[in-house]
A and B are shown apart, each in its own frame.
Chain A
Amino acid sequence: MRNNVGREIPDELLIHGVEAFQGQYYLHNKEYKKASPKVRTFVDPAQDKLVPTLKEAIEKCGLRDGMTISFHHHFRDGDYIVNMVVETIASMGIKDITICSTSLGDAHDPIVKYIESGVVTGISTSGVRGRIGETISKGRLKKVAMIRSHGGRVRAIETGDIHIDVAFIGAPSSDAYGNARGKGGKANCGVLSYSMVDAKYADKVVVITDCLVDYPNFPPSIEQVDVDYVVVVDKIGNPQKIANALLRFTEDPRELIIAENATKVLVNTPFFKDGFSFQTGGGGPSLAVTRFLRPYMEAKNIKMGFAIGGITKPMVDLLNDGLIRTIVDAQDFDLTSIESVHNHPRHFEISTSQYANPFNKGAFVNKLDFVILGALEIDTDFNVNVVTGSDGILRGAPGGHVDTAAGAKCSIIVAPLLRGRIPTIRKRVTTVTTPGESIDVVVTEVGIAINPRRQDLIDALKKTRLTIRTMEDLKNEAYSLTGVPEDIEFEDKVVALIEYRDGTIIDVVKRIKGKSVD
């Protein structure tokens, strides 16, 4: 059937209560019973949780063919955990495993050979980059991959749509009883927000660390009451790739024009007032917006009530200078943010459920005034694609995009009109990840477009000197420079489902046709 954003969802996928996407708030007020994990009690104080090798931990967990294992991506491109665990599983002859990760990237290219050999047959993730994305797009993964937003992943776990048999949680520091933290070790990532739900809902929880510390390792991100085993390994990851020493501030003039325009949009809306809330990603223009915002805040004596999301130095600087009252943190990108969380009295770690889960009793994203987001493609209906490249191959991450766009009062997309020869703004996006109804303003280097649903923003921004244009007009300008992009040819085979945060299907990714896959 055709869903609410005009995408054809094959009927054979709409079974077991799975619905096509109906609108961003369709499941508001839905009642459901949460899933619950199997718990193995730990009563005898003489028993130990420390296990000498990863292999023994996997054996003790009773992992077998067909089970689901989970990981977080706080270690980003420096992660060693996923490869280490899957390699061990493969060496034990276990197969048909589903990986439920919060994201997968270039660091996980070695997993491809285990997809080819049938050790890994299913993937549920918020992001797929590198060779895994290509492998899925070629149709080499046995099961259909599930692409879920950060909030959507938590929802899927809590509703029981996906059940984790064993959660493997890489931790920069842990004590022998499983109190684990994102700090205090050799390779710190700051917080362990993505794993908090895994620890609560997985049948078995294994903490993997390279820095065993004295008991109790407090305050813990992952609590001992949820942890079955602790394994100490040589290295959990590459610290240089886990956290940047300093994210470079963009000097690209195009990105700076976009960031300046986005900042002007933000400060001219009625939501820019004392106590406003704000989230931005770690991309070039987004980081620049945080920097450009400061003089406006200082000039009008406006302070940010709270900042959320992936935290970076510019945000921490604002906190330290008293321009932000509270930071709630679900991921850290640089050494400054890692140092600040838990140390600054108003910089707190939150779980991904608190951050973005649409099926709890109200997530932080619902209280956002502004979010600044990127996009690979945007169409004239404001639908956004952040998961497939314009060649149709999976190479992106919905992450918190969908969640924050649905929650924020004003969601701002920052994107160049073109990337190389490829129009970013086009008639139809390759894949819809975020519905147009969640997107309020699109900011490019040649002007901004405001969603016609937002008359309030149109009224507020028409008084400014910003160049306001229609999406159609922006698209025409892009096409006038590049020509009309040819449609990519796909086969009928669905290789990935794009699940909206509420569990409905917003789009599917099909296997791409022809030589380009090889």
Chain B
Amino acid sequence: MLFLNAQRASLIKDAYVYKPDSIIFDLEDAVAENQKDSARISLYNALRTIDYRGIERVVRINGWDTPHAREDIRAAVAAGADTLRVPKTEVPDDILVVEKEIEKAEKEFGVPVGKTLMMAAIETPLGVINAYNIAKCSERLMGISIGAGDYMRTMHTSRSASGIEMLGARAQLVIAARAVGIMCFDTVYTDLSDMEGFANEVKLIKQMGFDGKSIISPKQIPIVHQIFAPTQQEIARAEKYIRTLGANSRDGIGVFKVEGQMVDVAMLEGAERTIALAKAADVYEGDL
């Protein structure tokens, strides 16, 4: 999920060339207070005129406690954004109040009600504690995301290479998201000169079960894709599971061995997810 300053036409005009999975057009922190209107207009026109080639278009709106939020929501919905990211969510009401406004805008601009999805950004200890209740509060929520900047400040600590300071929040969020059945995304890594540190963090959050990583530069995209894309070995194993499970279920066999591993129908979902991810990452060459 690539963050781009919505005000910067040169950045947003053709960001699809880098093939991120999502672009987050930022109206919030990246935009100076006196430039909020111009960023919103630039965003509206970009979303209306540029074909982002199927890449998910997320808009990070300003917080509900600012004078900008209502107009941000109207502009994003009118322009057909796929998802609105709500900053600093701490309680379910933070989502519900925005949801109401989205629905109003959908009706105003003739957008099918319910089409615009939401993502909750959780950036404070209170938000982390309430992660499950936030995640389940709206049908529109496609995922929750952790934002480290404010969280570090409110936790009285700072980022480190090991990421130990983020462990509690990351674990809480990913469990909450899985419990509800929506996606979970990790925070940004701001040191663009340290690609090794970035890769280590991406490996860590993948292992924890996150669905993706927020990024601040196209430079970081290949690393995320490389780490999240299944290896050819994983793809081959998944193919074997799916094929053998299919054949065996026809023959009435429930549990069997593949390469020394016990395999049963519970593994099917994981194998299918691996193939789907391989296809999405454009590394799948098989015929499933």
List the interface of chain A (C-beta within 8 A of B).
251, 253-254, 257, 417-418, 420-421, 445-446, 465, 480-481
B217 partner residues in chain A, CB cutoff 8 A:
253
Closest partner residue, chain A, to B17 (CB atom) = A445
Is B150 positioned at the interface, with any CB of A under 8 Å from its CB? no
What are 25 A-to-B residue pairs whose CB atoms are below 8 Å? A251-B219, A253-B18, A253-B217, A253-B218, A253-B219, A253-B221, A254-B17, A254-B18, A254-B218, A257-B17, A257-B18, A417-B14, A417-B17, A418-B13, A418-B14, A420-B10, A421-B10, A445-B17, A446-B14, A446-B17, A465-B282, A480-B51, A481-B13, A481-B14, A481-B50
Given pairs A253-B219, A417-B17, A465-B282, 10 additional interface contacts (CB within 8 A)? A251-B219, A253-B18, A253-B218, A257-B18, A417-B14, A418-B13, A420-B10, A446-B14, A480-B51, A481-B50
B219 partner residues in chain A, CB cutoff 8 A:
251, 253
Q: Please provide the chain B residues from 5 to 27 with a CB less than 8 Å away from any CB of chain A in the complex.
A: 10, 13-14, 17-18
Separation in Å of the B42 CB from the closest CB of chain A?
14
A418 partner residues in chain B, CB cutoff 8 A:
13-14
A253 partner residues in chain B, CB cutoff 8 A:
18, 217-219, 221
List the interface of chain B (C-beta within 8 A of A).
10, 13-14, 17-18, 50-51, 217-219, 221, 282
A254 partner residues in chain B, CB cutoff 8 A:
17-18, 218
- Assembled-state Cα–Cα distance A254/B50 (Å): 18
- Assembled-state Cα–Cα distance A100/B220 (Å): 47
- Assembled-state Cα–Cα distance A418/B15 (Å): 12
A465 partner residues in chain B, CB cutoff 8 A:
282
B218 partner residues in chain A, CB cutoff 8 A:
253-254
A481 partner residues in chain B, CB cutoff 8 A:
13-14, 50
What are the 4 closest A-B residue pairs judged by CB atoms, nearest first?
A253-B218, A445-B17, A253-B219, A481-B13
Separation in Å of the B20 CB from the closest CB of chain A?
11
Closest partner residue, chain A, to B283 (CB atom) = A465
Separation in Å of the A357 CB from the closest CB of chain B?
39
- Assembled-state Cα–Cα distance A319/B75 (Å): 57
B282 partner residues in chain A, CB cutoff 8 A:
465
Closest partner residue, chain B, to A445 (CB atom) = B17
Q: What total of A-B pairs shows CB separation below 8 Å? A: 25
B13 partner residues in chain A, CB cutoff 8 A:
418, 481
- Assembled-state Cα–Cα distance A43/B86 (Å): 89
A420 partner residues in chain B, CB cutoff 8 A:
10
Separation in Å of the A464 CB from the closest CB of chain B?
12
Which of A253, A418, A480 has the most B CB atoms < 10 Å from its CB? Answer: A253
Closest partner residue, chain A, to B51 (CB atom) = A480
- Assembled-state Cα–Cα distance A446/B14 (Å): 10
Closest partner residue, chain A, to B13 (CB atom) = A481
A446 partner residues in chain B, CB cutoff 8 A:
14, 17
- Assembled-state Cα–Cα distance A253/B220 (Å): 9
Separation in Å of the A249 CB from the closest CB of chain B?
13
Separation in Å of the A478 CB from the closest CB of chain B?
9
A251 partner residues in chain B, CB cutoff 8 A:
219
- Assembled-state Cα–Cα distance A418/B218 (Å): 17
Separation in Å of the B144 CB from the closest CB of chain A?
28
Separation in Å of the A440 CB from the closest CB of chain B?
23
Separation in Å of the B226 CB from the closest CB of chain A?
13
- Assembled-state Cα–Cα distance A251/B50 (Å): 26
A480 partner residues in chain B, CB cutoff 8 A:
51
B14 partner residues in chain A, CB cutoff 8 A:
417-418, 446, 481
Closest partner residue, chain B, to A418 (CB atom) = B14
Separation in Å of the B13 CB from the closest CB of chain A?
5
- Assembled-state Cα–Cα distance A481/B17 (Å): 12
A417 partner residues in chain B, CB cutoff 8 A:
14, 17
- Assembled-state Cα–Cα distance A420/B17 (Å): 14
- Assembled-state Cα–Cα distance A481/B9 (Å): 11
- Assembled-state Cα–Cα distance A418/B13 (Å): 10
Separation in Å of the A425 CB from the closest CB of chain B?
13
- Assembled-state Cα–Cα distance A254/B15 (Å): 10
Closest partner residue, chain A, to B218 (CB atom) = A253
Closest partner residue, chain A, to B282 (CB atom) = A465
B51 partner residues in chain A, CB cutoff 8 A:
480
Separation in Å of the A2 CB from the closest CB of chain B?
35
- Assembled-state Cα–Cα distance A350/B209 (Å): 59
A445 partner residues in chain B, CB cutoff 8 A:
17
B17 partner residues in chain A, CB cutoff 8 A:
254, 257, 417, 445-446
- Assembled-state Cα–Cα distance A418/B221 (Å): 21
Separation in Å of the A467 CB from the closest CB of chain B?
11
- Assembled-state Cα–Cα distance A212/B41 (Å): 66
Separation in Å of the B216 CB from the closest CB of chain A?
12
- Assembled-state Cα–Cα distance A254/B16 (Å): 11
- Assembled-state Cα–Cα distance A322/B32 (Å): 54
- Assembled-state Cα–Cα distance A373/B217 (Å): 27
Separation in Å of the A379 CB from the closest CB of chain B?
20
- Assembled-state Cα–Cα distance A251/B14 (Å): 18
Closest partner residue, chain A, to B14 (CB atom) = A481
- Assembled-state Cα–Cα distance A480/B13 (Å): 10
Separation in Å of the A66 CB from the closest CB of chain B?
49
Separation in Å of the B223 CB from the closest CB of chain A?
11
Separation in Å of the A351 CB from the closest CB of chain B?
41
B221 partner residues in chain A, CB cutoff 8 A:
253
- Assembled-state Cα–Cα distance A197/B210 (Å): 65
- Assembled-state Cα–Cα distance A254/B14 (Å): 11
Separation in Å of the A443 CB from the closest CB of chain B?
13
- Assembled-state Cα–Cα distance A446/B282 (Å): 16
B18 partner residues in chain A, CB cutoff 8 A:
253-254, 257
Separation in Å of the A383 CB from the closest CB of chain B?
24
Separation in Å of the A428 CB from the closest CB of chain B?
22
- Assembled-state Cα–Cα distance A418/B9 (Å): 13
Separation in Å of the B189 CB from the closest CB of chain A?
16
A257 partner residues in chain B, CB cutoff 8 A:
17-18
- Assembled-state Cα–Cα distance A176/B282 (Å): 65
Separation in Å of the A69 CB from the closest CB of chain B?
44
- Assembled-state Cα–Cα distance A204/B244 (Å): 84
Closest partner residue, chain B, to A447 (CB atom) = B17
- Assembled-state Cα–Cα distance A66/B249 (Å): 94
Separation in Å of the A258 CB from the closest CB of chain B?
10
Separation in Å of the A259 CB from the closest CB of chain B?
13
- Assembled-state Cα–Cα distance A420/B50 (Å): 16
Separation in Å of the A255 CB from the closest CB of chain B?
11
- Assembled-state Cα–Cα distance A505/B221 (Å): 46
- Assembled-state Cα–Cα distance A253/B215 (Å): 14
- Assembled-state Cα–Cα distance A445/B53 (Å): 14
B50 partner residues in chain A, CB cutoff 8 A:
481
A421 partner residues in chain B, CB cutoff 8 A:
10
- Assembled-state Cα–Cα distance A231/B10 (Å): 51
Separation in Å of the B55 CB from the closest CB of chain A?
13
Closest partner residue, chain B, to A417 (CB atom) = B14
